[in-house]
C-alpha cells in the first residue's frame, strides 16, 4: 500500500491562488477564526495525523477486516488507538459550533479534513464520517434538550452516530420503508424493524452510538409522505448525559464486502427499541435531506481520495520499474531498460490519474464555498440564504458525486494497470484502492440516481435549464476573458464551444422529455458524464490560467508545479474532454434504443 503523503502544495494552490479562500473566509459569519495561519496549522496537523497514524493502518485494516461475535464488533488492530488520537486532537468538531465543543470552523475545512482522512484510510474515515450526518441532523432538527444531550459527546467524538435508512427491500425507494414507530405514553416511541448496510452501525471505537432512524408512525400515510425520523441510542442516555441501560437494538451481522473491509457495515435489528422523535411527524425524509447536498460532497471526495492515493502509488512504481525502451530512443542508456514512465501510454495513465485527482479537488473546493454559505444560512437561521446556496450547490452535487466517483474508480483501476500483473497482487495495495473505490458509485445514491437527480430534478423540473444556463455563463465568461491569451486560447475556444453545446443539448433533452418521459432516464447517464467532463475542463482551464499568470510573474522557487498544471490541463483537453463527444451524441438518441425491447426478450436462455 502506498504511504499517503498529503498534497499540501496543491491544496494551498487551490485555497490561496485559485479560489481566494482567505477572502472567502473573511466574509463568512463563522470564518473569522479561519485566518491563513490557522488554516495552515490545521492543514499541517491533519496531514501529519493522516500520514503517520491512519495511512499505516490502511492495508492491515483491509487484511484483518472487522470481527463480529454475537452482536459485538471489533475493529482491526490499531483502529481504536487511532480513533482515540483523532478524538484527542479535536478533529470531529472541526467544523461544528463552539457551543457544542467544536472548533467552529467553516464546513469547507471539514471537507479538506475528510479528503486527507479518506485518502489515507477510507475505511477509518467512515466512522467519523457517518457521525457527521447524525450531528448535522440533530443540530438542525433536534429540540433544545436533544441538542444539549447529544451534540457535545458527538462533537467531541466520544460517541458516534449513524444514518439508518436502508432496509432489505429498499435502498433508493425509501417509500417502501417498513420499520414501525409506536408512540408511548411517556412521549417516546417503540421502534421495530430491520435496517441493513448501516455503516459504523456497531463497533468498539466509542462509548455510545446514536442512530438516526427512518420509521413509520402507526397512522402514517403510505409512501415517502409517511416517514418520520427518530433518535435511537445504542445505550440509553440519562438526563444528566450519563449512560443508562442498553437499548434493544442489536447488531445481528456485519456484511462481507468487496472493499472498505475495516469499515463495519451492520445489520441492525430494532425490537421495541426506545426512540425519540426528531423533526415533525411524517416529515422525516425532508429533514434527512437537508444536509443531503453537503453530505454527498463528503462522498464525492472519495473519487479524489482514491485517485490521489492510486496516483501516488503508481507514480513511484512508474519511475522505478524498468521495461523496454521508449519508442523515441533510450532514455536511460546505462540502465537495463527505461523506467516505464518514459512510455507514452504509461504517461497517459498517470496523467489521467493526476487530472482526475487534481481536477476533482478543484471542483470540490469550489463547491465547498457554496456549502460554507449554505451552512451559514442554517446557523444564522436565514432560510432564504440557506435555500439560495443549497440550490446552487444542488446543481453541482450530483455532478460531483456521480462523475467524480466514476472517475475515481477509473483512476484506481489505472493504478493497478500501471503495475501490470503486480497490481493484481495484494501486497502492493493497489488492488485494495480499486476495491475500496468500488463502493463510491453505489452508496449515497448510485450514479444512476445522481444522473436522474441532475437531469430530471435539478435541471428540468426545478430550473427548466436555468441551472445550466447560469453555470455555462460563468464558463463562457472565462472563455471570453482568455480567448486572446496565446497560452490559454485553446482552452478558451474549447470551453466556449462546450458551454454553448451544453445549453443546446439541455434544450433538446427538455423538448424530447415533453413527449417522452422515458427519454429523461435514457439520457440521464450521458448528461451526467457530459456535464462532469465539461465542468472538470473549466476547472482545469482555471488552474492553467492561474499557473500561467504565476509563471509570467516569475520568481517562483519551484516553477515545475505550475508547468505541470498547464501540461495536465492540456492533457485533459486532448485526452479526456473528447469523451464528452460520445455522450453528447448518445444523450439525444431516442429512448426507444433502450426501451423498445420487451422485458421478456431480455434473455440469455431462449
**Annotated catalytic sites, by residue?**
444
DSSP-derived letter for residue 264 is -
255 vs 286 by CB, closer to a second copy: 255
Identified binder of a second copy from the candidate list 20, 81, 143, 173, rule CB under 8 A: 173
Verify binding: residue 334, a second copy, rule CB under 8 A: no
Question: Alpha-carbon distance 498 to 534, whole Å?
Answer: 7
The contact pattern for a second copy, residues 548-577, with x = CB under 8 A and - = no contact, is ----------x-xx-xx--xx-xx--xx--
Within 8 A by CB and 6+ apart from 411, the residues are: 303, 306, 307, 310, 311, 352, 353, 356, 357
Q: Are 371 and 393 in contact (CB under 8 A)?
A: yes
The window from 237-245, 347-355, 365-373, 546-554 that contacts a second copy (CB under 8 A) reads 347-355
278 vs 357 by CB, closer to a second copy: 357
484 vs 558 by CB, closer to a second copy: 558
Q: Three cell numbers at 372?
A: 460554507
The contact pattern for a second copy, residues 17-56, with x = CB under 8 A and - = no contact, is ----------------------------------------
Verify binding: residue 501, a second copy, rule CB under 8 A: no
Minimum distance of a second copy from residue 411's CB (angstroms): 13
Q: DSSP per residue over 225-249, as a string? A: GGBEEEEEESEEE-TTS-EEEEPSE
Provide the residue count of the chain. Answer: 606
423 three-class SS: helix
Identified binder of a second copy from the candidate list 277, 409, 537, 546, rule CB under 8 A: 409
Within 8 A by CB and 6+ apart from 330, the residues are: 338
Q: How far apart are the first and last CA of the chain?
A: 46
Q: Tell which positions 143-172 bind a second copy, by CB under 8 A.
A: 166, 169-172
Minimum distance of a second copy from residue 256's CB (angstroms): 4
Q: Tell which positions 428-487 bind a second copy, by CB under 8 A.
A: 431, 434-435, 438-439, 441-443, 446-448, 451-452, 456
Minimum distance of a second copy from residue 544's CB (angstroms): 13
Question: Alpha-carbon distance 379 to 197, whole Å?
Answer: 31
Cα maximum dimension of the chain: 84
Question: Alpha-carbon distance 104 to 127, whole Å?
Answer: 21
- Exposure string for 96-123, b = 16+ CB within 10 A, e = fewer: bbeebbbbbbbbbbbbbbbbbbbbbbbb
DSSP-derived letter for residue 390 is H
Identified binder of a second copy from the candidate list 416, 467, 499, 534, rule CB under 8 A: 416
400 vs 439 by CB, closer to a second copy: 439
Q: Are 498 and 372 in contact (CB under 8 A)?
A: no
463 three-class SS: coil
Minimum distance of a second copy from residue 225's CB (angstroms): 15
Identified binder of a second copy from the candidate list 319, 466, 489, 497, rule CB under 8 A: 319
Angle at 43 between CA 430 and CA 204, to 5 degrees: 60
Cα within 13 Å of Cα(594), Cβ side: 16
464 vs 517 by CB, closer to a second copy: 517
Q: Which residue has the cell 437561521?
A: 381
32 vs 426 by CB, closer to a second copy: 426
Residue 274's CB is within 10 A of a number of other CB atoms, namely 21
The window from 7-15, 26-34, 131-139, 464-472 that contacts a second copy (CB under 8 A) reads 7-15
458 vs 583 by CB, closer to a second copy: 583
Q: Three cell numbers at 605?
A: 436462455
Verify binding: residue 354, a second copy, rule CB under 8 A: yes
Minimum distance of a second copy from residue 156's CB (angstroms): 30
The backbone region for 566, taken as left when phi is positive above 0, alpha when psi lies in -120 to 50, beta otherwise, is alpha
Minimum distance of a second copy from residue 9's CB (angstroms): 4
Verify binding: residue 7, a second copy, rule CB under 8 A: yes
Question: Alpha-carbon distance 122 to 115, whole Å?
Answer: 9
Identified binder of a second copy from the candidate list 16, 269, 463, 586, rule CB under 8 A: 586
Treating both helix axes as pointing N-terminal to C-terminal, what angle do 79-88 and 107-141 enclose, rounded to 10 degrees?
A: 90
CA distances from 5 to 52, 55, 119, 123, 483 (A): 9, 9, 9, 17, 37
Q: DSSP per residue over 128-154, as a string? A: HHHHHHHHHHHHHH--HHHHHHHHHHH
Verify binding: residue 426, a second copy, rule CB under 8 A: yes
Minimum distance of a second copy from residue 463's CB (angstroms): 18
The contact pattern for a second copy, residues 240-279, with x = CB under 8 A and - = no contact, is ---------------xxxxx--------------------
Q: Are 404 and 359 in contact (CB under 8 A)?
A: no
What is the size of the binding site for a second copy (CB under 8 A)? Answer: 117
The contact pattern for a second copy, residues 284-313, with x = CB under 8 A and - = no contact, is ------------------------x--xx-
Identified binder of a second copy from the candidate list 524, 531, 535, 548, rule CB under 8 A: 524
Minimum distance of a second copy from residue 110's CB (angstroms): 22
350 vs 488 by CB, closer to a second copy: 350
Q: Tell which positions 107-136 bind a second copy, by CB under 8 A.
A: none
Minimum distance of a second copy from residue 367's CB (angstroms): 22
Amino acid at each position: 500500500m502506498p504511504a499517503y503523503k498529503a498534497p499540501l502544495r496543491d491544496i494551498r494552490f487551490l485555497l490561496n491562488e485559485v479560489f481566494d479562500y482567505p477572502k472567502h473566509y473573511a466574509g463568512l459569519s463563522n470564518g473569522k477564526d479561519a485566518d491563513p495561519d490557522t488554516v495552515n496549522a490545521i492543514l499541517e496537523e491533519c496531514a501529519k495525523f493522516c500520514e503517520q497514524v491512519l495511512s499505516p493502518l490502511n492495508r492491515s485494516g483491509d487484511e484483518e477486516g472487522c470481527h463480529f461475535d454475537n452482536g459485538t464488533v471489533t475493529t482491526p488492530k490499531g483502529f481504536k488507538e487511532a480513533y482515540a488520537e483523532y478524538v484527542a486532537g479535536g478533529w470531529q468538531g472541526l467544523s461544528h459550533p463552539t457551543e457544542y465543543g467544536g472548533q467552529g470552523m467553516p464546513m469547507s475545512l471539514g471537507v479538506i479534513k475528510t479528503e486527507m482522512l479518506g485518502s489515507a484510510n477510507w475505511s477509518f474515515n467512515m466512522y467519523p464520517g457517518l457521525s457527521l450526518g447524525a450531528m448535522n441532523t440533530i443540530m438542525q432538527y433536534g429540540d433544545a434538550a436533544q441538542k444539549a444531550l447529544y451534540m457535545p459527546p458527538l462533537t467531541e467524538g466520544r460517541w458516534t452516530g449513524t444514518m439508518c435508512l436502508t432496509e432489505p427491500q429498499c435502498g433508493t425507494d425509501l417509500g417502501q420503508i417498513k420499520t414501525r414507530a409506536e408512540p408511548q405514553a411517556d412521549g417516546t416511541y417503540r421502534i421495530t424493524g430491520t435496517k441493513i448496510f448501516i455503516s459504523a452501525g456497531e463497533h468498539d471505537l466509542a462509548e455510545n452510538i446514536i442512530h438516526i432512524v427512518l420509521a413509520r408512525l402507526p397512522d402514517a400515510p403510505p409512501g415517502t409522505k409517511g416517514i418520520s425520523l427518530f433518535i435511537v441510542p445504542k445505550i440509553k442516555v440519562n438526563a444528566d448525559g450519563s449512560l443508562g441501560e442498553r437499548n434493544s437494538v442489536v447488531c445481528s451481522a456485519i456484511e462481507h464486502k468487496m472493499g472498505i473491509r475495516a469499515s463495519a457495515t451492520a445489520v441492525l435489528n430494532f425490537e421495541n427499541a426506545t426512540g425519540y422523535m426528531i423533526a415533525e411527524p411524517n416529515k422525516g425524509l425532508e429533514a434527512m435531506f437537508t444536509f443531503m447536498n453537503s453530505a454527498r460532497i463528503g462522498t464525492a471526495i472519495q473519487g479524489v481520495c482514491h485517485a490521489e492515493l492510486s496516483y501516488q502509488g503508481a507514480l513511484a512504481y512508474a519511475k522505478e520499474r524498468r521495461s523496454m525502451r521508449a519508442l523515441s530512443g533510450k532514455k536511460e542508456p546505462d540502465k537495463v531498460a527505461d523506467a516505464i514512465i518514459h512510455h507514452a501510454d504509461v504517461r497517459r495513465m498517470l496523467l489521467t490519474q493526476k487530472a482526475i485527482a487534481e481536477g476533482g479537488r478543484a471542483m470540490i473546493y469550489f463547491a465547498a464555498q457554496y456549502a460554507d454559505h449554505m451552512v451559514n444560512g442554517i446557523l444564522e437561521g436565514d432560510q432564504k440564504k440557506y435555500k439560495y446556496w443549497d440550490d446552487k450547490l444542488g446543481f453541482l452535487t450530483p455532478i460531483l458525486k456521480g462523475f467524480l466517483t466514476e472517475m475515481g474508480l477509473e483512476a484506481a483501476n489505472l493504478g493497478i494497470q500501471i503495475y501490470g500483473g503486480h497490481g493484481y497482487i495484494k501486497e502492493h495495495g493497489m488492488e485494495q484502492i480499486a476495491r475500496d473505490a468500488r463502493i463510491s458509485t453505489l452508496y449515497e445514491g448510485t450514479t444512476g440516481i445522481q444522473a436522474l437527480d441532475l437531469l430530471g430534478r435539478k435541471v428540468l423540473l426545478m430550473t427548466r435549464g436555468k441551472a445550466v444556463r447560469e453555470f455555462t455563463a460563468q464558463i463562457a465568461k472565462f472563455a471570453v476573458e482568455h480567448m486572446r491569451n496565446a497560452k490559454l486560447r485553446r482552452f478558451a475556444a474549447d470551453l466556449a464551444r462546450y458551454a454553448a453545446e451544453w445549453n443546446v443539448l439541455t434544450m433538446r433533452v427538455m423538448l424530447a422529455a415533453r413527449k417522452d418521459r422515458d427519454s429523461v432516464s435514457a439520457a440521464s447517464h450521458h448528461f451526467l458524464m457530459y456535464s462532469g467532463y465539461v465542468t472538470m475542463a473549466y476547472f482545469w482551464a482555471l488552474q492553467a490560467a492561474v499557473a500561467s499568470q504565476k509563471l509570467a510573474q516569475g520568481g517562483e522557487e519551484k516553477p515545475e508545479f505550475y508547468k505541470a498544471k498547464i501540461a495536465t490541463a492540456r492533457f485533459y483537453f486532448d485526452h479526456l474532454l473528447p469523451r464528452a463527444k460520445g455522450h453528447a451524441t448518445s444523450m439525444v438518441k431516442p429512448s426507444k434504443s433502450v426501451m423498445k425491447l420487451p422485458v421478456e426478450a431480455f434473455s440469455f436462455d431462449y
